[in-house]
Amino acid sequence: MEHSVLCGSRKYPVKEPFVELMKGSLNTFLNAMTYPDKTCYPVASTNLQDFYNLVDVYLDAVFYPKLSEEILQQEGWHYELEEVNNPLLYKGVVFNEMKGAYSSPDRIISKSAQQSIFPDTTYALDSGGDPRDIPQLTYENFKRFHECYYHPSNSFIFFYGDDDPRKRLELLDHYLKDYEYNDCHSEVSLQSQFEEPKKIIQKYYAGKESGKANKGVVTVNWLLSNSLDRLERFRLRLLDYVLLGNPAAPLWKALIDSGLGEDLSTHGLSGGLRQLFFSTGLRGIAVENAEKVETLIFETLQKLSREGIEKDLIESSLNTIEFSLRENNTGSTPRGLSLMLRTLSTWLHGADPIISLKFEDTLSAIKAELASDERLLEKMIEALFLQNNHRATVLLEPDDSLAEKE
């Protein structure tokens, strides 16, 4: 859908308006991104007239796309016959993209970690599309999806800049005035707690390069919190940085120094979802060493919980996070886009969007907590990791023939 709405619309019925904009716009950002629970269509420009033009084109694309059957065939899937006596082939822009993504070990590792923790919610599905399932999509369902979910009632519209707010509302009114409220029930449901930890073994394509075909990956994954509370999420962010914030962090260092693998498989807290989860492990392991890696992770966490975390480590981690928040350096990404994504972490789920941008009160609160309870993080390790049964250990075993099989 992300691709298809940018293939021409009611007001701009050209084949590729996105490509035409790239050629002639003064944009500082022009793209679209699909996440596990949302799709974003951001545009940015430092030239005001150019910005309004981009907004107009994107609003028309999102709410009034052409979405012909041919567009689904082009962007989704279709049959091709290269020669009369050859078998039919599946083709399609996104279908081919996702075939490539499914040959990436990094993609498989992160997907498997997330799906292991959320087997019963939308996060168990691949928002990019599983190549095995894409050909099941019918045109009728495709159209129905747009009618239901690509509706102003299901949209979150965000502006950032010093332009006139009245002009923004005039632009929006032109597109939203013809709609009535529609409840499409798009809330992200909560994953129920596991009664006991799970172990999952999967095959993945490791590649045929020298030495890689016999290397496995193991990740240990925990569901940490359902809360949208800013302070609780900040505590988890701090704990994540203490454990895995840099190569000298105790959990990172223990895993690498063990020699059991080549590199970390996943990097800690996943903060963009409705429920936060934590994932760590090693890639490039001998498959038979998977239990050793899991044991090492728990022994390291138990030691930190029992013996305590160095106060200098906690202080330096908090200072690093505070500096990052105050500097607010988003690099080449427009600042407004960065702020928008932060607001959506709460706004999307019915909570105040502004609380995601505030940090002064939260910083003061976490500093006060650390001053009054020197074992705050150690207690969190005990509760969230050592006593938490909502855990899944995923072992990915290499199979260099998997690509051909699939």
Helix (H, G, I), strand (E, B), or coil: what is residue 289? helix
pTM over 0.85: yes
Q: Per-residue pLDDT tens for 186-225?
A: 999 999 999 999 999 998 887 666 555 578 999 999 999 9
Handedness of CA 75, 142, 129, 228 (dihedral sign): positive
Rounded Cα–Cα distance for residues 101 and 122 (Å):
19
| Residue at 318: amino acid letter | L
Q: Is 75 a catalytic residue?
A: yes
Tokens representing residue 294 in the block: 């899991």
**CA separation (Å) from 371 to 10, 231, 311, 314?**
60, 15, 11, 12
Asked about 378 being catalytic, the answer comes back as: no
Q: Is the dihedral of CA 134, 137, 139, 144 positive or negative?
A: negative
Which of 2, 262, 322, 397 is labelled catalytic?
Answer: 2
Which of left, alpha, beta for 405 (phi over 0: left; psi -120 to 50: alpha)? alpha
Both tokens assigned to 118: 């959320």
Catalytic residue among 16, 20, 70, 75: 75
- CA pair distance 105, 205, nearest whole angstrom: 7
- Tell me the pLDDT tens digit for each residue of 53-111: 999 999 999 999 999 999 999 999 999 998 999 999 999 999 999 998 888 888 888 99
What are the pLDDT digits (tens) for 159-168?
999 999 999 9
Domains and CATH numbers, the chain: 4-72+137-176 (no CATH), 198-405 (3.30.830.10)
Which are the contacts of 125, defined by CB distance < 8 A and separation ≥ 6?
36
